């Protein structure tokens, strides 16, 4: 966690059929804006599929991965989103082994929504605190009985290398937390300003008008 680092971190986001669209789109937006707002570049973001074949996210949004898991550049940060498609991912032994291998070497593993169920199936959440989408608290407890399921936090630092976020939009909150952790408060604030994220807490921050 070195804010003076001068080479970009590789941020790989796993993509798959029937993933939740905002699970996928939110974190890359945060890390991409953090790169644009800071010099030198801080993050290199790319998509990783089971193969390089296009996938359909929720709502049939078509996305083509930049790499497959067999030819992916080594990530520094791995993001596992959630969605209905995680039901199939949990049965893919090759993918689970790949995730476990990455978790042993990367700086951070992040899950969003039911992506935590995939981490649990890979054995990464045993004995740890973790969260997930509110509809999946029970499933997480069954998959990983030694995991303490956290039901009242947007995200959880499950360990010094694994972090889990709650449902869908919580992935943005976790990604902002990581940006602050790695680059500092000013970097996070710059991203929030560009995204107009959290503006409702302080609308004057973005300007106001007496007309309306």
208 within some domain: no
Instruction: Look at residue 210 in the predicted model and tell me its pLDDT.
Output: 40
Instruction: Look at residue 4 in the predicted model and tell me its pLDDT.
Output: 60
For residue 83, the domain's CATH number is: 3.40.50.880
210 within some domain: no
State the sign of the Cα–Cα–Cα–Cα dihedral 22, 110, 35, 57.
negative
Domain count, the chain: 1
Task: Please write down the HEC assignment for all residues of the chain.
Answer: CCCCCCCCEEEEEECCCCCCHHHHHHHHHHHHHHHHHCCCCCEEEEEEECCCCCEECHHHCEECCCEECCCCCCCCEEEECCCCCHHHHCCCHHHHHHHHHHHCCCCEEEECCCHHHHHHHCCCCCCCEECCCHHHHHHHHHHCCCCEECCCCCEEECCCCEEEECCCCHHHHHHHHHHHHHHCHHHHHHHHHHHCCCHHHCHHHHCCCCCC
Q: How many CB atoms are closer than 10 A to CB 115? A: 29
- 167 CB-contact burial (10 Å; exposed 0-12 / middle 13-18 / buried 19+): buried
* Per-residue confidence in pLDDT tens, the chain, 212 aa: 445 667 899 999 999 999 999 999 999 999 999 999 876 679 999 999 999 999 999 999 999 999 999 999 999 999 999 999 999 999 999 999 999 999 999 999 999 999 999 999 999 999 999 999 999 999 999 999 999 999 999 999 999 999 999 999 999 999 999 999 999 999 999 999 999 997 554 544 444 434 33
Q: Is the pTM of this model over 0.85?
A: yes
159 within some domain: yes
Q: Exactly one of 103, 113, 124, 168 is catalytic; name it.
A: 113
16 within some domain: yes
Instruction: Look at residue 7 in the predicted model and tell me its pLDDT.
Output: 84
Instruction: Look at residue 41 in the predicted model and tell me its pLDDT.
Output: 75
* Domain range enclosing 178: 9-196
46 within some domain: yes
40 within some domain: yes
The Cβ-side half-sphere exposure at 71, using a 13 Å CA radius, reads: 6
Active-site residue, 72 included = no
């Amino acid at each position: 966690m070195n804010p003076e680092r001068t080479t970009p971190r590789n941020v790989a986001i796993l993509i798959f059929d029937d993933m939740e669209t905002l699970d996928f789109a939110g974190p890359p937006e945060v890390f991409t804006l953090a790169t644009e707002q800071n010099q030198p570049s801080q993050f290199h973001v790319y998509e990783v599929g089971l193969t390089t074949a296009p996938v359909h996210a929720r709502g049939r949004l078509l996305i083509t991965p930049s790499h497959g898991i067999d030819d992916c550049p080594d990530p520094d940060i791995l993001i596992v989103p959630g969605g209905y498609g995680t039901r199939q991912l949990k049965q893919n032994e090759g993918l689970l082994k790949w995730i476990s291998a990455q978790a042993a070497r990367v700086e951070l593993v992040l899950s969003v929504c039911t992506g935590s169920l995939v981490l649990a199936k890979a054995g990464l959440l045993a004995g740890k605190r973790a969260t997930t989408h509110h509809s999946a608290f029970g499933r997480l407890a069954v998959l990983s009985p030694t995991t303490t399921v956290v039901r009242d936090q947007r995200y959880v630092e499950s360990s010094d290398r694994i972090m889990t976020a709650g449902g869908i939009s919580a992935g943005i909150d976790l990604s902002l937390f990581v940006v602050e952790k790695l680059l500092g408060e000013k970097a996070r604030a710059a991203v929030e300003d560009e995204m107009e994220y959290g503006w409702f807490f302080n609308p004057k921050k973005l300007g106001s008008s007496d007309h309306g």
